[in-house]
Amino acid sequence: MPSSDPRVRAIHAWLAASAAGLGHPEACACAARAAGPDPWQALAAATPIARACPALASRDLGVDVRLRTLTPDHPCAVARVPAGAPFPQLAPQARKSAGGFDTPRAMAYRVVRAGLDAASGPVRRGLDPACGSGTFLLALHEAGVAELRGEDLDAAALAVAAVVAPSAHLQQRDGMRSGEAEDLVVGNPPFVPPERQEKGARLALRQRLPWLHGRFDLAVPFAWCCAERVRPGGGLCLVLPASLLAQPYGLELRRRWLAQHRITVLGQPEPFPGARVTVALVALQVGGVPAPMPPHGVPIEEVLALPAAPFSTQLRPGDAGLIARLRAVSVELGAHFEVDTGVVVHGAGHRRADLLSDLPGPGLLPYADARDLRRGRRRWLDYQPERMHRPKRPALFAGPKLLVPRVVADRPLEVFEDHSGLWVGHTVNVVRPTGSVLPLARVAELLRSRVTRAILRLERGERLDVYPRDLRSLPVPLAWLELPALDLQRAWGLDDQDWHRLEQVGA
Ligand SMILES: C[S@@+](CC[C@H](N)C(=O)[O-])C[C@H]1O[C@@H](n2cnc3c(N)ncnc32)[C@H](O)[C@@H]1O
């Protein structure tokens, strides 16, 4: 009797097809067909199998509905795999390197709606250049887009797409290559951080797009290429990493998009199910006359006036002017303080434990990483610069200083004042006076304040981490150089309206 659960039917179909000698993509197509006639159900059941890798069982196994392996007679096992037979093995690392995370149906509907709304003129042709198993193709089909195209590198995911979206023209190819002009491009491009990208491919991308620099995620060139594939006036809507909309690695893309297209939707940052990443939807009309930035209608010149040109849903008209007024009567923190990260204790050929110990000893230096600072814990460092990845100078840690953990997530900055010569790890920023007259406690107060949080948010977008360059650039009121006791609002000469705006953004 076939199971009533489409996932179980899909697994059984894959196991039978593979045991009969079919390849992984063909077996995935069998899984999608066996899951049932509802394409969304087939997609949900067959996609995890397509994202797994075929492997041979080294002993008898059981498999549960989420493809976890168990003992063959485990109560959660929905299928048995005899030793030597093929089974779909979860492959989290391969999945991360390909950016193979699949979009929930409701999010795909929102993306397609926003893309259609962004387009001017009729929309006949729709493309997802990283279509995976076809989520967006199904959503485009339901929205009435007549000609569907899907591309992906993953043959198994494409085999599922061919079952669930049979009218789509599918190609196994690099979605960043150029192609015919489309009325609408939608999708969720691969998010792949630099360390997971293949070196040669990364170099080729830099040669092709010379403006790419820094630690760019693959989503940056991919998003750029998506817009290039849309006809003038056509629509584009993508699910993008929220960090790409704020952080330096996405700056050039943001600037170029602001100058060349009309941004029509900027979604609130939201979690992406199944992956530890925050995403946001961005829709634009390709080649459309630039218009104020949604959702609050911020003039483009104001977004571009901010150093990070952040695509931030927090930004309101007038914010850039407020920041400019405040900066006109400020000096950057970096003018009076050296700011750097702490030491990287691990290095080539050795582990952290080789140089760090929980007990003091002769020649060992007091040390803390961000977590230790929060817990008030100290460890002991055997400082051997030649064995360290980034050794730093001992002077950075000597004397009074502020310690600011790098990860802030959704919190104000944490600031620890240190007068004990503590060494810190690279998860902590060190802020050390260089002949400054500013009292350290006052600067600590400034860094912890809502206003600093507001300035970081407005200038640099929502952030998960603060780096030395972020801290160096923070404005300190010039008036404090004479009168450090002056309250911040007066020191900056801000009226109540400006002040409340900063407090509101920083809350
Ligand atoms: C985040 S998934 C999105 C899958 C599908 N569109 C969805 O949202 O459910 C990204 C997809 O990009 C594919 N991919 C990675 N690099 C690619 C490339 N250079 N060209 C085309 N597809 C690529 C992966 O195989 C994966 O299916």
Which string of DSSP letters, residue by residue, matches 225-282?
A: HHHHTEEEEEEEEEEEEGGGGTSGGGHHHHHHHHHHSEEEEEPPPEE-TTSS-EEEEE
Closest CA to 432 of 464, 459, 384, 397: 397
389 and 464 belong to one structural domain: yes
Q: Which atom of ligand 1 is nearest to the CA of 151?
A: 21
* Residue range of the domain that includes 51: 6-90
Q: Are 338 and 434 in contact (CB under 8 A)?
A: yes
User: 153 CB under 6 A from ligand 1?
Assistant: yes
Number of domains in the chain: 3
User: 128 CB under 6 A from ligand 1?
Assistant: yes
Query: Which residues on adjacent β-strands are paired with residue 89?
Result: 53
376 and 454 belong to one structural domain: yes
149 and 297 belong to one structural domain: yes
297 and 341 belong to one structural domain: no
Closest CA to 234 of 120, 70, 100, 91: 120
User: 39 CB under 6 A from ligand 1?
Assistant: no
Residue 338 pLDDT: 95
CA 220 – ligand 1 centroid, Å: 14
Distance CA 58, CA 40 (A): 34
CA 86 – ligand 1 centroid, Å: 25
Residue 366 pLDDT: 96
Distance CA 341, CA 343 (A): 7
Length of the chain, please? Answer: 507
Residue 38 pLDDT: 97
486 and 421 belong to one structural domain: yes
Beta carbons within 10 angstroms of residue 186's beta carbon: 33
Rg (C-alpha) for the chain, rounded Å, is: 27
Q: Could you tell me if residue 308 is inside a domain?
A: no
Residue 348 pLDDT: 63
CA 290 – ligand 1 centroid, Å: 29
Q: Could you tell me if residue 306 is inside a domain?
A: no
3-state helix, strand, coil in the chain (%, to 5): 40, 20, 40
User: 45 CB under 6 A from ligand 1?
Assistant: no
CA 206 – ligand 1 centroid, Å: 20
228 and 154 belong to one structural domain: yes
43 and 144 belong to one structural domain: no
Q: Which atom of ligand 1 is nearest to the CA of 190?
A: 10
Distance CA 197, CA 185 (A): 24
Q: Could you tell me if residue 99 is inside a domain?
A: no
Residue 411 pLDDT: 80
For the record, the structure tokens of 128 come out as: 């997802």
Give the domain CATH number at 346: 3.90.220.10
Query: What is the DSSP secondary-structure string of 283-320?
Result: EEETTPPP-PBTTTTB-HHHHHHSTT----TT--TTHH
CA 177 – ligand 1 centroid, Å: 14
| Residue 207, burial from CB neighbour count under 10 angstroms (0-12, 13-18, 19+) | exposed
User: 130 CB under 6 A from ligand 1?
Assistant: yes
pLDDT by residue for the chain (507 residues), tens only, comes to: 789 999 999 999 999 999 999 999 999 999 999 999 999 999 999 999 999 999 999 999 999 999 999 999 999 999 999 999 999 999 888 888 877 788 999 999 999 999 999 999 999 999 999 999 999 999 999 999 999 999 999 999 999 999 999 999 999 999 999 999 999 999 999 999 999 999 999 999 999 999 998 889 999 999 999 999 999 999 999 999 999 998 889 999 999 999 999 999 999 999 998 888 999 999 999 999 999 999 999 999 999 999 889 999 999 999 999 999 999 999 999 999 999 999 988 766 677 778 899 999 999 999 999 999 999 999 999 988 887 777 678 999 999 999 999 987 778 899 999 999 999 999 999 999 997 778 999 999 999 999 999 999 888 877 778 999 999 999 999 999 999 999 999 999 999 999 999 999 999
CA 407 – ligand 1 centroid, Å: 29
CA 456 – ligand 1 centroid, Å: 32
Q: Which amino acid residue places its CA nearest to atom 13 of ligand 1?
A: 130
338 and 475 belong to one structural domain: yes
By most ligand atoms within 8 Å of CB, the mutation choice from 152, 186, 198, 224 for ligand 1 is 152
Q: Could you tell me if residue 313 is inside a domain?
A: no
User: 135-142 vs 39-51: helix axis angle to the nearest 10?
Assistant: 160
Distance CA 500, CA 318 (A): 13
Longest dimension (CA), the chain: 85
Residue at a domain's end among 247, 267, 301: 301
CA 101 – ligand 1 centroid, Å: 8
173 and 276 belong to one structural domain: yes
Closest CA to 186 of 132, 241, 131, 236: 236
Beta carbons within 10 angstroms of residue 471's beta carbon: 24
197 and 77 belong to one structural domain: no
Distance CA 188, CA 105 (A): 12
User: 48 CB under 6 A from ligand 1?
Assistant: no
Q: Global pTM?
A: 0.88
CA 488 – ligand 1 centroid, Å: 49
* Torsion sign (Cα): 188, 270, 40, 112: negative
For the record, the structure tokens of 132 come out as: 């995976």
Q: Could you tell me if residue 310 is inside a domain?
A: no
Distance CA 417, CA 320 (A): 32
Question: Across the beta sheet with 401-405, what order do the strands follow?
Answer: 337-341, 428-433, 401-405, 416-418
**136-155 CB burial, b ≥16 within 10 A, e <16:** bbbbbbebebeebbbbbebe
User: 103 CB under 6 A from ligand 1?
Assistant: yes
In order of 333, 337, 444, 447, 507, the CA distances from 476 in angstroms are: 6, 11, 11, 10, 20
By most ligand atoms within 8 Å of CB, the mutation choice from 109, 138, 140, 154 for ligand 1 is 154
SS3 assignment, position 160: helix
Residue at a domain's end among 48, 67, 90: 90
Q: Could you tell me if residue 499 is inside a domain?
A: yes
374 and 476 belong to one structural domain: yes
Angle, alpha carbons 385-386-391 (nearest 5°): 35
163 and 204 belong to one structural domain: yes
Omega cis (within 30) before 295: yes
Distance CA 475, CA 488 (A): 11
Residue 391 pLDDT: 66
CA 197 – ligand 1 centroid, Å: 14
Residue 349 pLDDT: 66
Q: Could you tell me if residue 309 is inside a domain?
A: no
CA 132 – ligand 1 centroid, Å: 5
User: 241 CB under 6 A from ligand 1?
Assistant: no
Give the domain CATH number at 199: 3.40.50.150
SS3 assignment, position 380: strand
Q: Could you tell me if residue 312 is inside a domain?
A: no
Q: Which amino acid residue places its CA nearest to atom 4 of ligand 1?
A: 132
